């Protein structure tokens, strides 16, 4: 599998990412990398992590599962993060030579699942804060535009605090110890994107395995799901931190909550993230 310090991303794509907060990147990873990540997901599903969550389960047992931060125990994830060109993609889009890997997440849907991920922004849930973030969402199989993650272009620059979905409430199996995030009335209601998708210029794309969509942690996104019968979906996502990002422990809760881990390694609100805990990569430019 080829490790590359250069990636095929044009200046125009970097500008699109900065302006819209989202950009589609085609054909970035070979079938070998996709196979490796699928093997990692098979291991992840066989040996659940402590953060594994079921968001939705239908009466016939089909489910939507979310898990995160397993790269320490799943070799395939670690190999991808450390050896593929994913870190170079992050650094190119953030226009910086140094990036920190925050965590990976997986989103697994059984075939035909209809559950749609609620519209949300990522940063309000995180134990860090900053504009310079990029999440890279990679379906490991073909996915239709109507089932892929959707975005409201430009919303990462609105500078608004929208009230987010508490994903801890999506808990059909009544799991214990799920993260809870209590957004109070000081947060503006999330706009009703589905009532007028045209007005919000909602975008999503037909995607193939090897394509990815990169987005800023402040952009409004959601809507993935609604799979056609017989179609399942496995997504591997990595989150990357750039120059202005600082630790921020939030009084209303965090999901995933890294504050114990961060405190354990001496990080507190206002600190830069420790590159020995959140791997730091210096990319030649």
Ligand X SMILES: O=C(O)CCC(=O)C(=O)O
User: Among residues 36 and 139, whose Cβ is nearest to ligand X?
Assistant: 139
117 lies in the site for ligand X, by CB under 6 A: yes
What residue ranges in 91-169 does DSSP mark as E strands? 98-109, 128-129, 133-139, 150-151
121 lies in the site for ligand X, by CB under 6 A: no
100 lies in the site for ligand X, by CB under 6 A: no
Q: Kindly identify the residues of this chain, within the stretch 197-216, that bind ligand X according to CB under 6 A.
A: none
User: Among residues 256 and 262, whose Cβ is nearest to ligand X?
Assistant: 256
Question: Minimum Å distance from CB 239 to ligand X?
Answer: 8
Q: Exactly one of 224, 234, 238, 259 binds ligand X (CB under 6 A); which one?
A: 224
- Where is 213: in which H helix or E strand? strand 212-215
| ∠ Cα 168 137 33 (to 5°) | 125
- Structural contact between residues 62 and 110, judged by C-beta atoms closer than 8 angstroms: yes
Total residues in contact with ligand X, by rule CB under 6 A: 10
Q: Residue 50 corresponds to which tokens in the numbers above?
A: 């402590």
User: Among residues 232 and 274, whose Cβ is nearest to ligand X?
Assistant: 232
- Where is 82: in which H helix or E strand? helix 75-83
- Cα 278 from Cα 268, distance rounded (Å): 14
150 lies in the site for ligand X, by CB under 6 A: no
Positions in the binding site for ligand X (CB under 6 A): 107, 117, 122, 135, 137, 149, 221, 224, 235, 237
């Amino acid at each position: 599998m080829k490790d590359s310090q250069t990636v095929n991303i044009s200046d125009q794509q970097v500008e699109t990412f900065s302006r819209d907060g989202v950009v589609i990147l085609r054909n970035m990873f070979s079938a070998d990398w996709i196979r490796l990540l699928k093997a990692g997901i098979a291991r992840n599903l066989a040996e659940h992590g402590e953060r594994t969550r079921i968001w939705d389960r239908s009466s016939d047992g089909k489910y939507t599962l979310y898990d995160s931060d397993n790269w320490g125990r799943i070799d395939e994830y670690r190999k991808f993060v450390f050896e593929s060109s994913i870190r170079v993609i992050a650094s190119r889009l953030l226009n910086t030579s140094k990036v920190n890997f925050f965590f990976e997440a997986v989103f697994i849907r059984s075939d035909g699942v209809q559950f749609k991920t609620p519209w949300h922004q990522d940063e309000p849930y995180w134990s860090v804060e900053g504009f310079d973030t990029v999440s890279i969402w990679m379906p490991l199989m073909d996915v239709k535009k109507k089932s892929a993650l959707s975005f409201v272009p430009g919303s990462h620059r609105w500078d608004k605090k929208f009230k987010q979905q508490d994903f801890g409430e999506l808990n059909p199996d009544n799991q214990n110890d799920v993260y809870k995030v209590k957004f109070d009335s000081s947060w503006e209601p999330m706009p009703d994107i589905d009532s007028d998708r045209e007005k919000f210029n909602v975008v999503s794309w037909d995607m193939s395995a090897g394509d990815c969509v990169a987005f800023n942690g402040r952009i409004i996104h959601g809507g993935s799901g609604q799979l056609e019968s017989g179609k399942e979906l496995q997504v591997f996502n990595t989150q990357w931190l750039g120059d202005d990002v600082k630790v921020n422990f939030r009084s209303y809760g965090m999901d995933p909550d890294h504050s114990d881990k961060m405190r354990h390694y001496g990080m507190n609100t206002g600190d830069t993230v420790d590159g020995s805990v959140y791997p730091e990569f210096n990319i030649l430019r």
